[in-house]
Amino acid sequence: MFSVTPAQFWIRWRVLSLLIAAVTSSSETSRACPPSCRCNSSALVIDCWGSQLTSVPDGLPQEAKLLNLSKNAIKTLVHQQFHMLTPLLHLDLSNNLLVLIEADAFLGLQNLLTLNISHNHLKIIPVGAFVGLSSLKLLDISSNQLLVFLDFTFRDLTSLQFCKASDNSFVFISHQAFYGLSSLRELDLDGFNLTVVPTEALNQLGRLRSLSFRRLGTTTLPNHSFSSLVQLKDLVVSQCPRLERLSANSLFGLNLTSLSITHCNLGGVPYVPLHHLVYLVHLDLSFNPITYIHGNLLKDLLRLEEFHLVGGSLIQVEVGAFEGLLHLNLLNVSRNHLTTLEAGAFQSADGLKALGLDGNPLACDCRLLWVVRRRLLLDFGGNPPTCTTSVQLQGWNFLDFSDDELLKLLTCHRPRILNSKRQDVMVDQGHTAVLHCGAEGDPLPSIHWLNPQLRQVPPVGRIRALTNGTLEVRFAQPHDSGAYICVTSNAGGNDSLRVSLHVQALPSPSKNRFALHGWSVLPSPSPGGIGNPKLPFDVKTLLIAATIGFLSFFSSVSVCFVFMFFWSKGKGQIKHTATIAYVPRSAVSSSSNKAAGSYMETGRFTMKLI
Ligand X SMILES: *[C@@H]1O[C@H](CO)[C@@H](O)[C@H](O)[C@H]1NC(C)=O
Which of 289, 381, 509, 536 touches ligand X (CB under 6 A)? 381
The region of 373-381, 400-408, 546-554, 587-595 touching ligand X under the rule CB under 6 A is 373-381
Collect contacts of 396-405 with beta carbons under 8 A, ≥24 apart.
396/364, 398/371, 398/372, 399/375, 401/372, 401/375
The backbone torsions φ and ψ at residue 342, rounded to the nearest 5 degrees and listed phi first, read -90, 145
Q: Closest CB to ligand X among 298 and 465?
A: 465
Which of 249, 347, 389, 504 touches ligand X (CB under 6 A)? 249
Q: Residue 565 interacts with ligand X (CB under 6 A)?
A: no
Site residues for ligand X, 78-97, by CB under 6 A, read 90, 92, 94-95
Q: Residue 354 interacts with ligand X (CB under 6 A)?
A: yes
CA dihedral sign, ordered 589, 595, 597, 599: negative
DSSP 160: -
Q: Which amino acid is at 66?
A: L
The backbone torsions φ and ψ at residue 583, rounded to the nearest 5 degrees and listed phi first, read -120, 120
How deeply is 441 buried, as exposed, middle or buried, from its count of CB atoms within 10 A (0-12, 13-18, 19+)? buried
Q: Closest CB to ligand X among 95 and 386?
A: 95
d(CA 406, CA 363): 14
Among residues 452, 506, 500, 451, which one has the least CA distance to residue 478?
506
* C-beta separation of 93 from 57 below 8 A: no
Q: Closest CB to ligand X among 92 and 365?
A: 92
Binding mask 91-130 for ligand X (x = CB under 6 A): -x-xx--------------------x-xx-----------
d(CA 328, CA 351): 7
Q: Residue 68 interacts with ligand X (CB under 6 A)?
A: yes
Which of 35, 126, 253, 438 touches ligand X (CB under 6 A)? 438
The region of 3-11, 259-267, 345-353, 489-497 touching ligand X under the rule CB under 6 A is 489-497
Q: Residue 493 interacts with ligand X (CB under 6 A)?
A: yes
Q: Which amino acid is at 393?
A: L
Site residues for ligand X, 254-313, by CB under 6 A, read 255, 257, 279, 310
Q: Residue 40 interacts with ligand X (CB under 6 A)?
A: yes
The distance from CA 577 to its chain's CA centroid, rounded to whole angstroms, is 72
d(CA 158, CA 537): 92
CB crowding 352-384: b at 16 or more within 10 Å, else e = beebbbbbbebbbbbbbbbbbbbbeebebeeeb
d(CA 608, CA 558): 11
Comparing every residue's Cβ against ligand X, the nearest one is 381
* C-beta separation of 456 from 471 below 8 A: no
Q: Nearest distance from residue 389's CB to ligand X, in Å?
A: 21
Contacts of 422 (CB under 8 A, 6+ apart): 497, 498, 499
Which of 203, 489, 524, 591 touches ligand X (CB under 6 A)? 489
Q: Residue 336 interacts with ligand X (CB under 6 A)?
A: no
Q: Residue 329 interacts with ligand X (CB under 6 A)?
A: no
Site residues for ligand X, 522-551, by CB under 6 A, read none
Q: Nearest distance from residue 215's CB to ligand X, in Å?
A: 9
Which of 70, 120, 225, 490 touches ligand X (CB under 6 A)? 70
Q: Nearest distance from residue 295's CB to ligand X, in Å?
A: 16
Which of 124, 147, 196, 600 touches ligand X (CB under 6 A)? 147
Q: Which residues bind ligand X (CB under 6 A)?
A: 40, 42-43, 49, 68, 70, 90, 92, 94-95, 116, 118-119, 138, 140, 147, 169, 171, 192-193, 222-223, 247-249, 255, 257, 279, 310, 332, 334, 354-356, 379-382, 436, 438, 466, 468-470, 487, 489, 493-494
